[in-house]
Structure 1
Amino acid sequence: MNKSEYLQQIDANIAAGKFKDNWASLREFNVPEWYQKAKFGIFIHWGVYSVPAYDSEWYSRNMYIQGSKAYEHHLKVYGNQNEFGYKDFIPMFTAENFDADEWADLFKQAGARYVMPVAEHHDGFQMYKSSISHYNTYEMGPKRDLLGEMKAAYEKRGLTFCVSSHRAEHWFFMSHGKEFESDIQEPMQCGDFYWPAMPEPDHQDLYGSPPTAEYLEDWLIRCCELVDEYQPSVFYFDWWIHNAAFKPYLKKFAAYYYNKGEEWGFPVAINYKHDAFMFGAAVPDVERGQFAELKPYFWQTDTAVAKNSWCYTENNDYKTAEEIIRDLVDIVSKNGSLLLNIGPRADGTVPDEDRDILLRIGEWLQVNGEAIYDTSFWRIFGEGPTEVKEGQFTDGEAKVFTSEDIRFTVKDSSLYAAVMVFPDNGSVHIKALREGSPHFHGIIKNVRILGYEDQPHWERSEEALTITAAGMKSSTPVVFKLELD
């Protein structure tokens, strides 16, 4: 199907379908029930940028910025950019040790419910079989449909398959290579790997340097091809789609995708950042951060096991499993979901550090998952002195929680109270559940600790619900299950 025919197909779908390309129609979208219940997913940044494994997944941009550390590193290790450019990493990206089934088993052990590989990053290299461009893993590099292999392996194990597209930023991502003698030079045309390499705009400018219709149509078709060929349950967008020029095409894509979900017979969703979508038309996402308070709407945070990079780089600065688990508990208590990123090596192996963190999370969820999965928020998200900083890019420093920090979730007739840092003396005081509390007037029939046989001692007073489990130690959150009448 040529470009014109594909665009006609998109328009025909919108004309015939339930969802139209306007905000009023798109706000009829409902968040899928499975998504709200899943709570924990895996994000995967893996691509050509995993070959140099230096700086970050933005290597393709930064290696062309004169004077940057990536530029100097490239000169030292690979030579001049006009002799060895980013495209020359493609044959080195062979994924020779990639096994989708091994990844799927790991993610299942980690307790994830959905998995979201990056299908195309800013560099413009597609991780799947595509009719839009020859620069994809089926025709180059591994010579395999990596995304297709992942979909089959994940779905076989009951993991919900999702995709992420970061193509929007490719409009300017390779532009700095035109500023000196490199392999990024005119002439270039649609379909070329580096095309269009336009001047990089101010990232806060929502109106300047608008992409051309040719580029936007190419972007739309690439996104719709992913939908048609791989039927993802969630489609994630990175940040630059909030540029004003994208809006008509974004609405077309959303209508097309939501209509496809109706055709397939299962609900789908879109993730977005900033205000790229009208509120209520998709699921908001907070990059490397979260909300300080409970939200009445479902939301997601995406963050990574490493603080410095989304992809594998040598000497990544890793978070601990304990701090990620605490973030998961905090996020879920506020009606959110955690999408946690790992960065595999270019050969397809998962670094030991990433693997160990995932398995540690999985061990905790094996014991405490009933307080996470399929739960909903309570009247308040929690209590305690620790204030969580709100907004994106706020998770660079570990939060210092205390034994007074409690987070709540609820399911059926049970209320779960997670103690973020279990006290050495084994005594926990929950003020929100005290006698006469404005938050709770019910009857507590029983209290037990998930994963522990011994019954704790508990009593309510006008000061607090006090639960004591002397002798118990834990470096991760401890969850009390309160059976209510």
Structure 2
Amino acid sequence: MKFKNYLLFCFGLIALNVSAQQNDIMPQSEIYEWPKDAAVKQKLESWQDKKFGMIIHWGLYAVPGIIESWSICSEDWIDRDSTIKYEDYKKWYWGFSEKFNPTKFNPEQWAKAGKSAGMKYLVFTTKHHDGFAMFDTKQSDFSIAKGPFASNPRKDVAKYVFEAFRKENFMIGAYFSKPDWHSQYYWWDKYATANRNNNYDIRKNPWRWNQFKSFTQNQIGELMNNYGSIDILWLDGGWVRPRASVNKEVLSWGAPIPDWSQDIDMPKIAADARKAHPGLIVVDRTVHGQYENYQTPEQKIPETQLDYPWESCMTLGGAWGFVANDRYKPAREVVHKLVEIVAKGGSLLLGIGPKADGTLPDNVIARLGEVGQWTAKNGAAIYGTRITKNYHDGQNWFTQSKDGKTVYGISLVDNNPVKEISWKGSIPKKGTAITLLSNNQKIKWKLVDGKVHFDFPKTDEHIALAFSFTPETE
């Protein structure tokens, strides 16, 4: 994940103040290619029923409470304290590996908070771009299992995160960063680290790149073979890609692109992973083709409905990871985004960040609980649904059951008093009632000039009202 615009770092302070906006978001591919593997298609169908997931960013950056990984990248949008040498800053940042000791590590708390919100799947950052592994990798000593947390019986963090969420019946996804800025096979100390890409010419140093490929494949292999059932391999860092896949669309993103190919052999990675997990969903973000099984627009919602698998990944607050005094979206805003995304055919992957001690902030737990109060009563209009042709009219969004026999209308409620609800384009069958999901209240309606009208029902719902009805057959 990436922030862009303005960062302020105070090197001499225990806690750094960070100001950031998600302006240069991870772009969305314009091309989608359906997978050929029937087992992958079946898994995607199951994933599309879930609709609402949690992505957890947790790593070294939680200790100072700053942007995840990106502060050590030397690109002009990153503003560090000008009195600190760049190399000294990187050493300082990586030095948090000797201080990261989450003695209150509580993945059960995270899973229960996610379940309370109505979330159904997990994506956990096993390794971000800074290279610090949140699992007990044998490929490197740069991991949570090798520092001050090494003596803790739960030092293999990813194992216990996955187990906690499985117990709450979540679908399990492993986030993994393809670039690794700590590895000498990616950022080689022989040269400066000019930007997010590897910093040497792969064509002139094939041995070093082959070492990185093996390192990457082996780490992913550990995750796929040592951590139980995995449903999704969620790969970040779309600039690590075959040079042949860099088309005009990619060039238009404006990110730095080297002349050589950063090919890590995705066919082998996917094939090996699927030996352990047949039907595994692989999400090689922004690298369109057979290994981007669903698309992941970041911090935005597509303008129109899409008829292929996708998710919007968005933060609950202003940051992906933990930042002190972060401002979290109101439950109303989260639900409204969820409704729009689902009506357009996608899923919402909501980002939260545990504190350095391993617990969630109290206000995150509270906010997720508020969201869950809505999903618990109105989930039928969200989970297991599919898109419908007439999916939007004003404040009203529509989904339908997979068999098409039931349509769900969801009317968003804002701060303004509403006395009547009306919509066009999704007409109930004549002689049937509209049912308010939250209390099973039957509502009479009338059709005036092709538009459905009914009085605002008796309810204390202040976020969104969800209705079900039998649609008029065409």
Contact 2:390/2:426 (<8 A) preserved: no
Residue in structure 2 matched with residue 432 of structure 1 by the alignment: 425
- TM-score normalised by length of structure 2: 0.77
Distance 1:468 1:458 in 2: 8
Residue in structure 2 matched with residue 106 of structure 1 by the alignment: 113
Distance 1:318 1:431 in 2: 34
Contact 1:57/1:311 (<8 A) preserved: yes
* Deviation readout 1:160-180 (Å, 9 max, x if unpaired): 2211011x232xx46xxxxxx
Residue in structure 1 matched with residue 14 of structure 2 by the alignment: none
- After TM superposition, give the deviation of residue 215 of structure 1 in Å: 1.7
Residue in structure 2 matched with residue 383 of structure 1 by the alignment: 393
- After TM superposition, give the deviation of residue 303 of structure 1 in Å: 1.1
Match of 1:271 among 283, 287, 311: 283
Instruction: Identify the structure with the greater helix proportion.
Output: 1
- After TM superposition, give the deviation of residue 214 of structure 1 in Å: 2.1
Question: Structure 1's 302 and 444: CA in aligned 2 closer, same or farther, altered over 3 A?
Answer: farther
Residue in structure 2 matched with residue 459 of structure 1 by the alignment: 446
Residue 117 of structure 1 pairs with residue 124 of structure 2 = yes
**Partner letter of residue 381 of structure 2?**
A
Distance 1:329 1:67 in 2: 33
Distance 1:306 1:197 in 2: 37
**Partner letter of residue 281 of structure 2?**
A
Match of 1:229 among 226, 238, 242: 226
Residue in structure 2 matched with residue 40 of structure 1 by the alignment: 52
Question: Structure 1's 34 and 406: CA in aligned 2 closer, same or farther, altered over 3 A?
Answer: closer
Residue in structure 1 matched with residue 159 of structure 2 by the alignment: 148
- After TM superposition, give the deviation of residue 98 of structure 1 in Å: 1.1
Residue in structure 2 matched with residue 241 of structure 1 by the alignment: 240
- After TM superposition, give the deviation of residue 46 of structure 1 in Å: 0.5
Distance 2:325 2:163 in 1: 32
Question: Structure 1's 72 and 90: CA in aligned 2 closer, same or farther, altered over 3 A?
Answer: farther
Distance 1:83 1:269 in 2: 34
Residue 479 of structure 1 pairs with residue 466 of structure 2 = yes
Contact 1:53/1:313 (<8 A) preserved: yes
- After TM superposition, give the deviation of residue 352 of structure 1 in Å: 2.3
Question: Structure 1's 279 and 288: CA in aligned 2 closer, same or farther, altered over 3 A?
Answer: farther
- After TM superposition, give the deviation of residue 235 of structure 1 in Å: 0.9
- After TM superposition, give the deviation of residue 110 of structure 1 in Å: 1.4
Question: Structure 1's 312 and 281: CA in aligned 2 closer, same or farther, altered over 3 A?
Answer: closer
Residue 408 of structure 1 pairs with residue 399 of structure 2 = yes
Coordinate RMSD, CA, aligned: 3.4
Distance 1:364 1:427 in 2: 21
Residue in structure 2 matched with residue 259 of structure 1 by the alignment: 275
| Structure-to-structure mapping, 1:210-359, within 5 angstroms | 212-230=209-227, 231-238=229-236, 239-244=238-243, 245-247=261-263, 249-262=265-278, 267-274=279-286, 276-278=287-289, 282-307=293-318, 309-359=319-369
SS at match of 1:340: strand
Question: Structure 1's 228 and 313: CA in aligned 2 closer, same or farther, altered over 3 A?
Answer: same
Residue 161 of structure 1 pairs with residue 172 of structure 2 = yes
SS at match of 1:141: coil
SS at match of 2:58: coil
- After TM superposition, give the deviation of residue 53 of structure 1 in Å: 0.7
**Partner letter of residue 315 of structure 1?**
N
Distance 2:48 2:142 in 1: 36
Contact 2:388/2:399 (<8 A) preserved: yes
Residue 199 of structure 1 pairs with residue 193 of structure 2 = yes
Which 5+ residue runs of structure 1 have no aligned equivalent? 1-22, 175-187, 385-403, 435-439
Distance 2:222 2:470 in 1: 49
- After TM superposition, give the deviation of residue 121 of structure 1 in Å: 0.4
- After TM superposition, give the deviation of residue 225 of structure 1 in Å: 1.9
Match of 2:98 among 91, 100, 109: 91
Distance 1:317 1:213 in 2: 43
Question: Structure 1's 462 and 366: CA in aligned 2 closer, same or farther, altered over 3 A?
Answer: same
Which 5+ residue runs of structure 2 have no aligned equivalent? 1-31, 244-260
**Partner letter of residue 431 of structure 1?**
K
SS at match of 1:169: coil
Percent identity over the alignment is: 22
Contact 2:52/2:121 (<8 A) preserved: yes
SS at match of 1:417: strand
SS at match of 2:442: coil
Residue in structure 2 matched with residue 6 of structure 1 by the alignment: none
Distance 2:450 2:147 in 1: 66
**Partner letter of residue 215 of structure 2?**
D
SS at match of 2:454: strand
Contact 2:117/2:371 (<8 A) preserved: yes
Contact 2:384/2:401 (<8 A) preserved: no
- After TM superposition, give the deviation of residue 218 of structure 1 in Å: 1.6
Question: Structure 1's 208 and 381: CA in aligned 2 closer, same or farther, altered over 3 A?
Answer: farther
Question: Structure 1's 25 and 447: CA in aligned 2 closer, same or farther, altered over 3 A?
Answer: closer
Residue in structure 2 matched with residue 394 of structure 1 by the alignment: none
- After TM superposition, give the deviation of residue 295 of structure 1 in Å: 1.2
- After TM superposition, give the deviation of residue 451 of structure 1 in Å: 1.1
* Deviation readout 1:216-269 (Å, 9 max, x if unpaired): 22222222221111242101111323452344612221222233322xxxx320
Question: Structure 1's 452 and 57: CA in aligned 2 closer, same or farther, altered over 3 A?
Answer: same
Question: Structure 1's 319 and 257: CA in aligned 2 closer, same or farther, altered over 3 A?
Answer: same
* Deviation readout 1:44-76 (Å, 9 max, x if unpaired): 00011100113x1135515x789965446989x
Match of 1:135 among 136, 142, 145: 142
Of residues 410-419 and 210-219 in structure 1, the stretch that sits farther from structure 2 once superposed is 210-219
